[in-house]
Structure 1
C-alpha cells in the first residue's frame, strides 16, 4: 500500500511538471507569435512606402541647354516631386540628335522645338511626332548688331545673317520685312527664303549661317537676326539689345512638348506638359529672361 502511494505521488509530480512545462512553452510560443506579428507591421509599412516610391513616375525628356533645359530644371526641382514625377533630363546641343533620340525611344518626349520645325523635320526623316498645344514659350526672333545702334544706321550693301534652318530663316525674313528693310514676294507660298526677297532698297547681303555661328559672327556683320535661345547663349539682352523683335501675338513658332504619335496621351507626358504650363513656370520665365523668352498664356 505504501509502494502504491509512492507511485501515485511520483505520477502526480510528473503530471504537474509536464503541465507547467506545457504552459511555459505555450506562453513562449504566444510571445513569439506576438513578436512575429509586431514585425509584420514595420514590413507592411516599408512595403507601403516602397509602393509609394514606386508609383513616382519616371520620364526621360530631351531638351536644348537654354532656355528649355533651365525651365525644365526649375520644374524638376520645384513642381515635379509633389506631382509624383521623376524627370530625367537629357541635354542636346544638336536638334537632330534630340529628335533621333525620340525616334529611337531613348527618351519619352522632348521640349525644344516649335510645330513648323517638328513637321518639317518629321517629313524629312519619316518620324511621326505630335506637339502638345497650347505651347509653352516663345523664343522671339530679334535683330541685333554690334556695329549699329539703330536700323536707320544700316549702310547700303550691309551684311545681314539669318539662321540656316528653313523655319527660322522664314521667321527672320518676316521680322526684317516688318522692320521695313526688305519686301518679300506676295506670291511666295509656305516658308520663304532669301530668294523670295522682291525689294531690297539697301541691297542688303542676306546670308544664312548655322545658329551656332551667329554669335561668333556678330562683330563682323551689320545685322544678325537670331532666336531668343541664341541670344541667351550669347549673353545678350532682348529688352536692351534688340533693334526689332518678332511679335508674340501669333505664337506659331512657340516651343512645346513633343512626343511620338500615339504617345501623346501617356499620363507621364500629360503630367509633364501640365507642369510646364503652370503659372509658377510662367513667372519663372518672365523673371529670368526679361523678354528673351515669352511664356504663352
Structure 2
C-alpha cells in the first residue's frame, strides 16, 4: 500500500447556523477545516491515514486544530506550531442551495509561514504519493515551501497531485494563473472545478455540467501543461476524468476519458465536498483502482459529505460510502 503525504493549510471554519449573507449571520459553529487538512482527514476516515505537513499557531485555535487532527487519526509529527503567528480563520456563508462562500482571516497566519524543508529527505523517501493545494502558493514563504516539496517529490518518483482551490481574495502578491501552471508542471494528477479552470486561465465556462464530455478539450489543455491525469468535478452532476497514455491507469495508446454522474443526495452544506472528492480519488488511485472506479468512489465520498454541516466533521468512513453506493 502506498504511503501518502498531504501538505498545506489548516484553518478554523466558522459555519453559519442558517443560510444567508455573511453580514446577516448571527450564530456560527466552529469547525476544523482547510482544504489539505480536509483531504488528510478524509483519507484517514477511509482507512488511509497520511502524513500531514501543516502549520498552526500556539494559540487556542491552534490547539483545537491539532487536537482535531489527532482525534481523526492523522499522524501529527509534521504538524508545526508557530509561536509568532496566529492560526488562520475562515468565515463561511451558505446560500439556500447549500453552496458556500468564504471570508478569510489569514494575513500573516501560521499556515503562510511554512518553510522549505519542513519534510526532510528521509520522510519523503518513504512517501509514494504527495498531495498539495493552491492556497499556500499565495504567500511567502509557504509558496516556495510548497513548490519545493512538489519538486522534491517528483525527484523521488512519488506521484504528485494538486488542487488549485481558487480563492481570488487571497491572491494579492502573486499571479494565480501563472502559479497554477508552475504547480501543474510538477504534478501528475490535477483536480479542478470549472471555476478553478476559469480562474487559472483555461476555458472553464466551456464545461457543461449536463455534458461531461464537454470537459475533454479543457482537460486536454491542462494535461498539456504537465499532469497526465485531470479530474474535473461537476457538482451534483458528478465528475469527469481525462488521462493521457502516460497515466499508469491508462493501458491504451490514446487518451482515456471517463465520467460518472454522481449520486443522489440532499445537500445540507457543500463545504469541503471537493476535498472529500480528492480524498476519495487519491485513496482509490493510490490503491491501484481503475480510473472509472476511482471516479465513482470519489463521487460517493463527496456526495455523502454534503449531507452534514461542516467540512472535516462531515467526512465519511468506508461503511458510509458503501451504504450510499448500495453496497
Q: Same fold (TM over 0.5)?
A: no
Structure with greater contact order relative to length (CA < 8 Å, sep ≥ 6): 1
Structure whose residues are more often helix by fraction: 1
Q: Larger Cα Rg: Structure 1 or Structure 2? A: 1
Class of the TM-score when normalised by the shorter of the 2 chains = under 0.3
